[in-house]
Chain A
Amino acid sequence: MSLPKRKSPKGKPVSLFVTCMVDMLHPETGISVVKVLEYLGIEVNFPEKQTCCGQPAYNGGYHDEAKEVAKEFLKAFRNAEVIVAPSGSCATMVRVDYLKLFADDPEYLAEAERISSITWEFSEFLVDGLGIENLDGILPKAQSFAFHDSCHGLRMMGIKEAPRKLVGNIENAEILPLESAEECCGFGGLFSIKLPNVSAAITDKKLASIKKNEADWILLGDVSCMTNMNTALEKQGEPKRVRHFADILAESISNSGAKRGENPDGE
């Protein structure tokens, strides 16, 4: 990882970058993130002018279009002190790819660097940013979970243990291994539309390990991979589903009683 070190996000309000896919397909996951953050006593705001980070265009080779959308993102989050996203992929776009996208643009580079340095994936924010690994959550009955590591979060941001720690520390939760956890689910955004059959063949291999996994739920941190796998499972008539870990965290704290009210700046 060659990403520069950054300032602690403790004690600052969080601007939620909900991502367009969560906004449209799984808004409840966005609410889960809000509930967890507010449970920790963190002030959350939702910059209403946000749309998409621009990744679809960037990955498609349309850097000009991506840049125009990214500029809107920079504007939407102009007042943000900390940005948190329930997606390793969208966070990677802002944290890593914006630096490349604006490398030759003196007008926007400084702001892109600032925004990059304050952007966190949700589990990364809690564990690495705030140093919180245990939310004191409880599940009503014993459940087991296995994790799929989404590619961008894993390889571009180094996110591997953070979500496992958070879920593993829930009372009644058990973490099981997933064979080929680090293998791509085949989605790749536009890749799945441009090369649908190749993408589907990769997805089938991933699903083979998911179908035979013994855990009650497969968890991950990206609704893009989740949508890819769940809609493929549904098409194949499989009952098994993949879930975002934020939803499990939110469920577990709803069972743990009152607000933890932790003052995240440690004072």
Chain B
Amino acid sequence: MENRANQFIRAADVALKDPDLQKAVAYGTRLGFNKRIAAMYEYGEEHGEALRQQSAQIKRRALANLPKLLEEAEKNLLKNGFKVLWAKDAAEANQLILEIAQKHESKLAVKSKSMATEEIGVNENLEAAGIEVVETDLGEFIVQLAEERPSHIVVPIVHKTKESIQKTLEEKANMPPTDDPLAMTRFARAYLREKFLKADLGISGANFVIAEAGSIGLVMNEGNGRFVTSLPKVHIALVGIEKIVATLEEYATLTQVLPRSATGQTLTVYTNLINGPKRSQEKDGPEEIYLIFLDNGRSEIYQSTYADSLACIRCGSCLNACPVYDVTGGHAYGWVYPGPIGSVITPLLKGLENAKTLPYACSLCGLCKDVCPVDIDLPHFLLDLRKDVVSTQKGNWIWDLGISGWSWLMRHPKIYRVGGRVAARVLGLLPLKKLPAPFNAWTDHHAFPVFAKRTFAELWTEHQGEKNG
């Protein structure tokens, strides 16, 4: 999909003035944040932290052995009857998916929630070839009807109020007027049920690929995922290569941490382990399952100093914790992945020059690292990306100049001292209410910070005199 990450500031300013978005996002993120704490620390803080560190280690081990585990996974998936394909980028993945759909003469694809398919724009690609694609996760379904994009990794419609959801369903799906959330859900369920029964292709992502078992793990809360992966005769799962874990035991640990972090649940309503297509003695299930491993820039990240960002299990807890996301919502981030993790991986996947604002969309509060179930040092990565912006000269010459001047001053203590004294006196005399650019925006929201009449260095000298006198 189109990347507008460099328009973050403008898009954020629009979001700041959207009262519905402000209300909805603040409510949703706060709820997610608090529920995560309750679930993670269900057995005490120590236990929750241990679980977090255990998960971090599982993903680090998997990353350390990634090439080997991918080979092992392929071998075991093939043994289980999966067809395994590899896509180096979005175009290749889309081509593979289209070829599979055309081979099976698919007309209607049903999809369960998947960020990887968002990343490559599966829907647009299939629709262009005349294949209907229906999102079946309730949130994704509403987003699709509204012709929007998901604004959160786990809660795609966190930016929408009940009223706007009602409006979308009435206008785009002819829902009989109702403001009862339960009635709206029932309507969507009936609407989607028909699609499931007609669909000839199911498309999903995967939360985990378990190498030793040759299985894929899918966690979800709506029954839609089961339909998508079992009703249509063909199932395609698109999976980022970093989603691998070595063992079922490790998968078991991660299925505890992911829902706790994402939605504050100890376990999702559906925790699926898919072990292959329909066996001859089985009554239902897809006849064929294609598992497509997606690279799309990941192996480049793997070889960089940002490899740790591939440990992400897409729980969205960093979004819920982030004070910036809380006021801007997810669309402002301009591409598929919003929030702190988005600010790290968007520049890495789409090119720094195409997302150079995102590393700065952060007050460096550090909370995202604390809530991350796999302990990714997101603030540190954002600082490193800022360094990359500056060192690859993708910054701003005014800032370059300003920082050079500042640095010079700070390296000349005598001039700094005298300058401080002069500034203290001069600025005290000026009736300054507004500062010149680029500081003017500061004075839009703040009184001009009053410099003290005398610096500490002066007070110190006086204090020494008092002591000795």
Contact = CB atoms under 8 A, between A and B. Distances in A.
Contacts of B469: none
Interface stretch (A56-64, A116-124, A244-252): A56-64
A26 B359 CA distance: 31
B444 A57 contact: no
B455 A27 contact: yes
Contacts of B395: 61
Given A34-B463, A196-B444, A57 B403 contact: yes
Contact of B413 (A27, A49, A65): A49
Contact of A188 (B363, B404, B407, B450): B363
A59 B367 CA distance: 16
Given A23-B457, A195-B9, A187 B451 contact: no
Contacts of B386: 59-61
Given A61-B387, A62-B403, A24 B411 contact: no
B362 interface: yes
Contacts of A127: none
Contact of A191 (B362, B455, B459): B362
Nearest to B423: A24
B448 interface: yes
Interface in B1-30: 9, 12-13, 16, 26
B321 to A, nearest CB: 10
B270 interface: no
B370 interface: yes
B413 A46 contact: no
Interface string A203-231: 10100000000000000000000011001
A51 B364 CA distance: 23
Contacts of B413: 48-51, 72, 76
Contacts of B410: 20, 51-52, 54, 69, 72
B18 to A, nearest CB: 12
A69 B407 contact: yes
A30 B365 CA distance: 25
Interface string B436-459: 001101101111111110111111
Interface string B361-373: 1111111011000
B406 interface: yes
B12 A195 contact: yes
B360 interface: yes
Contacts of B403: 56-57, 60, 62, 65
A190 B438 CA distance: 11
A61 B364 contact: no
Interface stretch (B56-64, B94-102, B154-162, B322-330): B322-330
B364 A24 contact: no
B421 to A, nearest CB: 10
Q: Main secondary structure on chain A at its contact with chain B? A: helix
B119 interface: no
Contact of B451 (A24, A76, A182): A24
Contact of B456 (A27, A65, A232): A27
B390 interface: yes
A146 to B, nearest CB: 19
Contacts of A6: none
Contacts of B362: 188, 191
B399 interface: yes
Nearest to A199: B363
Interface stretch (A106-114, A151-159, A161-169): A151-159
B364 A59 contact: yes
A253 to B, nearest CB: 15
Contacts of A202: 323-324, 326-327, 363
Contacts of B397: none
A232 B446 contact: yes
A235 interface: yes
B416 interface: yes
A222 to B, nearest CB: 12
Given A61-B383, A198-B12, A31 B463 contact: yes
B459 A28 contact: yes
Instruction: Give the most central of B13, B404, B406, B444: most A CB within 10 Å.
Output: B406
B420 interface: yes
A205 B326 CA distance: 10
A228 B459 contact: no
Contact of B383 (A59, A200, A203, A235): A59
8 contacts: A31-B459, A57-B406, A61-B391, A69-B411, A152-B366, A196-B444, A202-B327, A205-B26
Report the 7 A-B pairs with minimum CB-CB distance, sorted nearest first: A61-B386, A188-B363, A196-B441, A27-B456, A231-B446, A184-B365, A234-B447
Interface of A: 18, 20, 22-28, 30-31, 34, 46, 48-52, 54, 56-63, 65-66, 68-69, 72, 76, 100, 151-152, 155-156, 182-184, 186-203, 205, 227-228, 231-232, 234-235
Given A62-B387, A152-B364, 13 more contacts: A27-B456, A56-B406, A60-B386, A60-B399, A61-B391, A68-B407, A72-B410, A72-B413, A195-B12, A195-B324, A197-B441, A198-B9, A205-B326
